[in-house]
Amino acid sequence: MAAMKLKSWPFPENQEAELVWFGSPFMDYKGNWRIRVAFRTSASGIKIVSYPWGTLPYLRIGQIYSNGVYDQVRPMSGSAFQFTMDSLDQGTVTNSFKLPKRLIDFGKNPELGLQNIIHYRTSGPTYCIPVIELIRAMFINSRYLAYYVLQPHGLDLLVDNSYSQGRILHFDMSNRVPAKLATDNNARHLSWIHTDSRIRSLWDSVYQNMFRQAVKNSPFNPTEAFKKGIPLEVNLPTIGPIQLHVRGVQFMNYVLVKEILAIGGFRHPSDEILFWHPSKKKREWSSGDKSVRIISGAKDNDYVLNDQSDNAKEDINQNVLETSPTIMKFINSPAIKTRHLNVKHSNTGTEVIVTSGRGGKHTGAKEVSTQDTMVGGDTPPIDFQTLETIPANEAMGLELFFQMIEILKKSFPVSIRMSIIRVPPGKRFSVCTNGARRTCAIVQVTYSGSTFYVVEVARPDDWSVSTLILRSSNQIAFRAVEQNIKQLLDGLVRKSGHWDQNFLIQCSGMNIEKLKHYQSDTIRDWAFRLAGKFMS
């Protein structure tokens, strides 16, 4: 495994520092998720450094670093333990200050001591598992899963389609999953999270609890609470018995778990998985010359993790750093079969070096980032709690609207979040002519310090209904904004597809404008007319 060097390293040259704890994930001023990491040196004690949240899969408590490089040869602190819990939900959650100081001393640092710990009492010792370590072991084997677990409905963004026929699960990954991660093991892991309702609830609770606490701390602007950081919490499901192999340290009757090495006892809901990803293609071989392009960056050389990168982009073929994941053992291990829809032609002849094209063989050093690729690529969803969102690929009739939003993002200094929901049932208008439920896009636009909400109803039948632009006239809580949108859509259905003026007036604390659709408009015209509403 290639060595990884942390570029932001605040310690003197050659001074050893041990990774001893994690703080809260938080959002920086650019909207990127980061994680606070505590290191201890013999000279200066504990020092907290922050790295992109996507670095978490490569970090373990007890790792020894020098000059920003983790010593892979030197053993990490702790001994091996093995125990069984009857059910995940039998643990007691407390903060880290409740641990004996002989196990770990935070020096009265509230950032570290307020992190949550789950205590499991057994016939022997009480095992204390940090919540962040349980989340890492269960869900996060790459920086991609790290970021999607902190996105509202993030799991749905990774799955295009999932349905069962008998005991066979048809499971389609989206192109947001890099091709290098579209493996049998990841298909088994991701489909388990997606289809087992108990595990899915555990995944969903990570972000939902953070957002709930953010709204509680800052009702008018939850993002401000995210910037300060929030200790992670989870809702533990009733599932077990679960066997764990861990590395930890013991004091009296307490064992502090520093790393979960293996976890077993889970059952996958399916016996067979028919798995698909856009990169999965049939290969047809021929004897022609093989074109090769040489690019910088060695696959087997050391990596430098540059946490200051602003250039991370969504690319299904970009390099993915690998790390030793927690071993996940299922009682049943579903067989994986891959569907191939397209054909890829490959030559097996002499390698011919070319200077154009994409991809290629690597030479030289490679600098990578664990920063959130969604900042440069995808549009993240809105943090709705009561409105049920659906995948964008189910939004028939909103295709031109999506194109318009892309032009808006590229042409103006706006920050965009978007979610798709179904229009409430109850009227003929709620259903499109092909029998599918009508959908609606809700876009959160931030421009020059002001936040707007754009409500666009799908019009595959060219139905005449204007776009709504909502702007709060004063500071109102996000929950009130969500409730206003819900009332507007209820009124839309009651009026059989027309905005109800009474509901528009009842939206307290918000100014609402309409934007008509013109057949003569190009998509660019549409984007610029919408932008004009934000700047007026």
Confidence at residue 388, expressed as pLDDT on a 0 to 100 scale: 73
Output b/e per residue, 203-216; b: 16+ Cβ within 10 A.
bbbbbbbbbebbbe
Confidence at residue 259, expressed as pLDDT on a 0 to 100 scale: 95
| 399-440 confidence digits (pLDDT tens) | 899 989 989 988 888 888 888 888 888 788 888 766 778 899
Which structure tokens are listed for 55?
Answer: 């670095």
Indicate whether 285 pLDDT > 60: no
Indicate whether 125 pLDDT > 50: yes
Specify which residues 245 forms β-bridges with: 82, 262
Indicate whether 130 pLDDT > 60: yes
Mean pLDDT of 452-467: 89
Across 52-61, 154-163, 340-349, 441-450, least confident range:
340-349
Indicate whether 84 pLDDT > 90: yes
Confidence at residue 157, expressed as pLDDT on a 0 to 100 scale: 79
pLDDT band at 264 (very low <50, low <70, confident <90, very high): very high
* 3-class DSSP assignment, residue 441: strand
Indicate whether 310 pLDDT > 60: no
pLDDT band at 302 (very low <50, low <70, confident <90, very high): low
pLDDT > 70: percent of the chain: 82
Confidence at residue 369, expressed as pLDDT on a 0 to 100 scale: 60
Indicate whether 138 pLDDT > 90: yes
Higher pLDDT, 207 or 388: 207
- What distance in Å separates the CA atoms of residue 39 and residue 148, rounded to the nearest whole number? 26
Mean pLDDT of 117-136: 95
Mean pLDDT of 518-522: 87
Across 24-28, 50-54, 287-291, 387-391, least confident range:
287-291
pLDDT band at 229 (very low <50, low <70, confident <90, very high): very high
Residue ranges of the domains in the chain?
Answer: 4-273, 395-535
CB 484 within 8 A of CB 473: no
Higher pLDDT, 188 or 221: 188
pLDDT band at 156 (very low <50, low <70, confident <90, very high): confident
Which structure tokens are listed for 50?
Answer: 């922050």
pTM over 0.85: no
pLDDT band at 494 (very low <50, low <70, confident <90, very high): confident
Indicate whether 159 pLDDT > 50: yes
Confidence at residue 426, expressed as pLDDT on a 0 to 100 scale: 73
- What distance in Å separates the CA atoms of residue 473 and residue 508, rounded to the nearest whole number? 9
Which run of H or E residues covers position 254? strand 254-266
Confidence at residue 314, expressed as pLDDT on a 0 to 100 scale: 39
- What distance in Å separates the CA atoms of residue 171 and residue 160, rounded to the nearest whole number? 8
Confidence at residue 269, expressed as pLDDT on a 0 to 100 scale: 93
- What distance in Å separates the CA atoms of residue 446 and residue 380, rounded to the nearest whole number? 13
Indicate whether 294 pLDDT > 70: no
- The four Cα atoms 190, 195, 197, 198 give a dihedral, to 10 degrees, of -40
Confidence at residue 362, expressed as pLDDT on a 0 to 100 scale: 46
| 333-380 confidence digits (pLDDT tens) | 899 998 876 544 444 555 555 444 444 444 444 555 666 544 334 567
Indicate whether 299 pLDDT > 70: no
Confidence at residue 376, expressed as pLDDT on a 0 to 100 scale: 34
Confidence at residue 298, expressed as pLDDT on a 0 to 100 scale: 45
> What Å distances lie between residue 186 and 139, 141, 157, CA to CA?
11, 9, 15
Confidence at residue 219, expressed as pLDDT on a 0 to 100 scale: 84
- CA-nearest of 71, 49, 53 to 62 is 71
* CB-based contacts of 459-465 (< 8 A; 24+ apart in sequence): 459/397, 459/517, 460/396, 460/397, 460/432, 460/433, 460/434, 461/397, 461/432, 461/433, 463/429, 463/497, 464/517, 465/492, 465/497, 465/498, 465/499
Confidence at residue 316, expressed as pLDDT on a 0 to 100 scale: 38
Confidence at residue 167, expressed as pLDDT on a 0 to 100 scale: 87
